[in-house]
Structure 1
Amino acid sequence: MLGYFLSTVLLMAFGYVYPAYQCYKEMEKNVVSKEQILFWCRYWILVAVLIVIESFADVIVSWLPLYGESKLAFVIYLWHPKTQGANYVYSVMLRPIVTQHEKEIDRTIMELWCRGKDIAVQFMRNGAYYGQTRIFEVLRYVSTQAAAAPAPAAAAEKEKETGKAK
């Protein structure tokens, strides 16, 4: 076993940094190859899906022996020039599933978007109400303090009168 730290470092290097650099090089060419751009798009889509799946499944499968090393090998398989596994995995596994459920996915995204907007509006309303309430409480407190305390000029006159009376 390579160990968690070394596996993570290698995954970062071979799963993210190197593919990102290769993608950058492809984008900066004078003549951009459509096939290569599609390949890198497929790769990054698969990496995003793997990250999402892993965030939920990592607790269940991370204890398996050679888990980190297997993940590293799979990511290298996806981008390696000889295998170009991203094209195969995308075409055979991911694309059919997404195509079959595309309408439900779009509907769910739209529902979540609308719920998110509703929650944001409600949060803003509650925040505005809370702020308004606190401002009025502060103003009420200040006004009661001002009414309870004698005016500085009146206090000085009262002091003078008491001083003359003595």
Structure 2
Amino acid sequence: MLGDFSCRVVLNLIGYVWPAYSCYKALSQKQSDAVQQWCIYWLMLALFTVSERMLLDVLVFWVPMYYEAKVLFVLYLWHPKTQGAVYLFNGIVQPFLAQNEAAIDQALEEVKTTVVDHASSYFHKLILFVQTNASLAASQLQHLQTKAQFNAQRIQQSANSGKSA
């Protein structure tokens, strides 16, 4: 058993560093087949990472050798002999996405609209808050400055009247 930390190191190396460099090589050498395979890999890795963090890590983290299994699965996804990402994409993900593409696009557009509306609303509220409180702060500072000047004049007058006596 490698342990959680060792598995994370290995997973980062074989799941991200090596594939990223291999993707770079495919892009720089204009290997369109390899680029397509690496795009499929990154898509499958993203789906795995999301499902892992939302479901698997919460439910099955206690299973013996869980972290080692994650390493092996990521290796399975990109290894040239298994091409697991391509296999899973062609067999499961691509048919599902193709069948549900219109509904997914509509849902994403609705989420995007909702997020933009909320962000815009909160931004306007923030601007109003800053304007209101900046004006209030400026008037408070002006009041404090006037009060400080008045107190300074009283101290000066008191000091001057003490000298004349």
Report if TM-score (shorter chain) is over 0.5: yes
Question: For residues 22 and 143 of structure 1, what CA distance do their matches in structure 2 show?
Answer: 63
Q: Pairwise mapping of residues 55-134 of structure 1 onto structure 2 (< 5 A)?
A: 55-57=53-55, 58-134=57-133
1:48 aligns with 2:46: yes
Cα 1:143/1:20, change in 2 over 3 Å = closer
Q: Could you give the per-residue CA deviations for residues 127-161 of structure 1, whole angstroms, max 9, x where no partner exists?
A: 1111121122224334545389659889989x98x
Cα 1:149/1:12, change in 2 over 3 Å = closer
Q: After TM superposition, give the deviation of residue 38 of structure 1 in Å.
A: 1.0
- SS of 1:82's equivalent in the other structure is coil
Cα 1:69/1:155, change in 2 over 3 Å = closer
**2:135 partner letter:** F
The root-mean-square deviation of aligned C-alpha atoms, in Å, is 2.6
- SS of 1:51's equivalent in the other structure is helix
TM-score normalised by L of structure 1:
0.82
Cα 1:93/1:152, change in 2 over 3 Å = same
| Partner residue, 1:16 | 16
**1:19 partner letter:** P
Question: For residues 48 and 125 of structure 2, what CA distance do their matches in structure 1 show?
Answer: 38
Question: For residues 110 and 123 of structure 1, what CA distance do their matches in structure 2 show?
Answer: 20
Identify the range of structure 1 (85-94 vs 97-106) with the bigger mean alpha-carbon deviation: 97-106
**2:137 partner letter:** V
**1:131 partner letter:** V
Cα 1:143/1:33, change in 2 over 3 Å = closer
Question: For residues 88 and 94 of structure 1, what CA distance do their matches in structure 2 show?
Answer: 9
Whose Rg is larger? 1
Cα 1:150/1:98, change in 2 over 3 Å = same
TM-score normalised by L of structure 2:
0.83
Give runs of ≥4 in structure 1 deviating > 2 Å.
138-157
Q: What percent identity do the matched residue pairs reach? A: 34
Cα 1:151/1:91, change in 2 over 3 Å = same
Q: After TM superposition, give the deviation of residue 3 of structure 1 in Å.
A: 0.7
